[in-house]
Each structure stands twice: as structure tokens, then as C-alpha cells.
Amino acid sequence: MIVKNLIVIFLLLLITGCGSSGGGGSSNPNLPPAQGTRVLGMDVKPDPRVDPMIGYSTAYDQAVAMGVREVSVSLDWALLEPTEGNYDNTWPATIESYYPSQTGDLTLVLRPLDTIGPSLPGDLAGRAFDDSLVIAAFDNFLTNLHGQLTALNLSGKLKWIHVGNEIDASLGSDATKWAQWQTFFVAAKSRIKILWGANVVVSSIIQFSALEDAGKRTQYLNFLPQLDSAALTYYPLKADFTMRPPSTVAADFDLMTSTITTKPILLQENGYPSSVVNNSSEALQADFISAVFKAWDKHMDRINLIDFTWQYDVDEATVDQWVMDFGLSGNAEFKYYLWTLGLNNEDGSEKLAVQRLRDELLARAWVN
């Protein structure tokens, strides 16, 4: 039990947490369509009301009881391999010890490239992603990672592996950078399929805003055929980190499905802060939940999974570090955007969004 509790502490640092088609009918037109094959995910955060040693496990069980069947873990390449061939297997050991016996399935978000830029072993820093040394090193990294996850691999619970998170933030509309990334991704995907099998869904994650930018959209659609699914992060943000109203969700989902026509869609992150600093409130956050489910009903044949960000607000010190990592110290809107994304408050009390989520799930006969 002590070992398991220590594992949970590690998990607190690990888990991240950033055209329409008819979607299934109902015999009563006033009722939304039932769950169907849709998967509900959540970025689980430790329950602050219980001992920190068991906070994550408690929160995970709460999420499962609500109907959550997917959680994600993000791993930075440079953190797990500080220099080439020098692996730190602490986090893989944590994953291996906890997740195989859990109810839900797992997404691994591997981050050689993240929102803030590349994350390569120190002796490879600065090299292009299509450099043969970078490709070979990541191939070896994947082989090592697979070897650390024996029980997880046998459990069949690892269903999704994403290589790169919000890649458009770094690649922009630069065709050369996208081509370099595509070469890297194709090699990584091939290795993942060899190691984990053909059924593992492999993608790269972009921001929803990339679909609204003509240059980025063109490059992404050129890249899209290489992906098993289209994985996005979705936050209805303005450029100043204040929020667009929940009423814009419907049009955003229409844009997703009309732009991405050839692949199933996963919303790997999906959230809305509750702070007045972001022109939001608890009521607006709850309305966002309802707007997402209404739009998901319409597009349930195209959008397979939505992962809500996140379960509990995190502490201010953690948020301040994230703000520094993004190079946005002093930006109050960005800080409060990150600080109030939770469906529950930092002290463990519920926001209005939690009950709204329960109501939306109940209306769709969600499995719990």
C-alpha cells in the first residue's frame, strides 16, 4: 500500500494537465441521443479534500463513477531521456504500477514537441525533427518505453498514443517545418505500430485555432492523411485569453467536422475556465458543458472522444510555474485561465459545472 501511495504522488506531477452529420436518434425528439459508442475522458487531478497520498486514486474513482472511461498521461521526451540513451524510467514505472488494473483506458501523449517548443535530449537539442539522429533516438526511446510497460501492454488499456501536443504552436504555417515533422511522425508511427500493434490509434494533437488559420489549416490538412485520427485541444479562447461565449461551441464543432472530413475526431483537451478575469463565471462554465454535449449529439458519428480539462483546480504555485514555462509571467488572464479550468474548486467544493455534467450524462443514459 505504501508503494501504491508513493506512485500516486508521482501521478500528481504527471497527469496534465491546454459539415454536420446526423448523430443518432431518439424515439422522443425532445430527448438527446443516448451515449452510444462515445467515450468520456477527463484530466484527473488529485482530490484536495483527502490525504495527498491517495488524492489521485480518490479522484480517479470519482471520475469513473461519473462515467469517465479515458484518462491521459503526458510525457516529455527530454524529461525521460535527458541525454541520448540515458533513460529515466521513473514515470513509466509509475504508469505500469497503476493503470493496468484501473477501469478506464489510457492515452499516452508523448511530447517531443509541445506547445512551448521541442523537447529533445540535450545532446540533440537544436536538430531538425527529420534529422536521422533524432529519428533514430526517438525510435530507441519508444522501444525502451514499451519495455517498461509490460503489464499495461498486456492489459489492452493503452488505446491511444499521440506524438506531439499542440504542434501547430511551433510549426505555424511553415511548410518546411511541417514536412520535417511529418517525416519524424511517420517514422515514429511505424515504430509504435510494430511495438504496440496495429489497433493503437496514433495521432498528433493540434489546437482548434489551427483550423481557423488559413496557413496552418493548409499544412495540417496536408499532414492529416498520416494520422489515424484528428486529435485537437478545444478551448473557446480569444487572443487575450478571455473566453468566447458558450453559444459559439455549435459553430466551432461544425467547423471541426466540415474541415476534417476523412478522420474520426478526438478532443483530447476540452475546457472553459470559470474566472471573471477571463470574462467567465461558474454559470458560463456550466453552460459550456451543455453546449459541448448538444454539439456532440449532432456530431456523435464523427467525434469519438471528449476529454474534459480538468477535474479539480490546481494550486497557485503550480499554475505560476506553468505560466513561467510558457513565458507569460505577469499575464493575469493566462494565469486565471489555467487556474480555474477545473470543474471543482481548489478546496474540493463543486462548481456548477459538475452538476451540469451529471445532468447531461444522465439525460443520455451514460454508462457509469
* Residue 13 binned pLDDT confidence (cut-offs 50, 70, 90): very low
Instruction: Give the pLDDT of residue 368.
Output: 81
The distance of Cα 247 from the centroid of its chain, to the nearest Å, equals: 23
What is the chain's percent helix, strand, coil content, to nearest 5?
50, 15, 35
* Residue 17 binned pLDDT confidence (cut-offs 50, 70, 90): very low
Burial 172-207 (b: 16+ CB within 10 A, else e): ebeeebbbbbbbbbebbbebbeebbeeebbbbbbbb
The count of other CB atoms within 10 Å of the CB of residue 26 is 12
Taken in order 153, 13, 8, 285, the sign of the CA dihedral is: negative
Instruction: Give the pLDDT of residue 27.
Output: 54
Asked if residues 267 and 303 have their Cβ atoms less than 8 Å apart, the reply is yes
Cell triple for residue 188?
515514429
Give 351's DSSP letter. P
Strands 158-163 and 230-234: unpaired
Distance CA 253, CA 267 (A): 10
Percent of the chain with pLDDT over 70: 92
Asked if residues 119 and 111 have their Cβ atoms less than 8 Å apart, the reply is yes
The count of other CB atoms within 10 Å of the CB of residue 348 is 15
Give the global pTM.
Answer: 0.92
Instruction: Give the pLDDT of residue 23.
Output: 42
Whether omega before 310 lies within 30 degrees of 0, making that bond cis, reads yes
Taken in order 158, 122, 314, 355, the sign of the CA dihedral is: negative
Give, in degrees to the nearest 5, the angle at Cα 301 between 219 and 272.
65
> For residue 232, what are the CA distances in angstroms to 3, 265, 276, 312?
35, 8, 26, 21
Cell triple for residue 169?
504552436
Which element (helix H / strand E) includes 159?
Answer: strand 158-163
Instruction: Give the pLDDT of residue 320.
Output: 96
Cell triple for residue 339?
487556474
pLDDT tens, position by position, 37-60: 999 999 999 999 999 889 999 999
Distance CA 286, CA 167 (A): 29
Give 172's DSSP letter. T
Instruction: Give the pLDDT of residue 8.
Output: 41
Whether 343 shows a pLDDT value over 70: the answer reads yes
Give the fold, CATH level 3, of 2-363: TIM Barrel (3.20.20)
Domain assignments of the chain as residue spans, ordered by start: 2-363
Strands 117-118 and 70-76: unpaired
Distance CA 49, CA 63 (A): 15
Phi–psi pair at 83, nearest 5 degrees: -130, 155
Whether 162 shows a pLDDT value over 80: the answer reads yes
> For residue 56, what are the CA distances in angstroms to 12, 94, 321?
7, 13, 20
Asked if residues 232 and 256 have their Cβ atoms less than 8 Å apart, the reply is yes
Strands 265-270 and 117-118: unpaired
Average pLDDT estimate for 207-225: 98
Residue type, 186: V
Whether 215 shows a pLDDT value over 90: the answer reads yes
**Which residue, 159, 150, 133, is CA-closest to 97?**
150
Cell triple for residue 213?
488559420
> For residue 182, what are the CA distances in angstroms to 76, 118, 164, 188, 316?
19, 14, 11, 10, 37
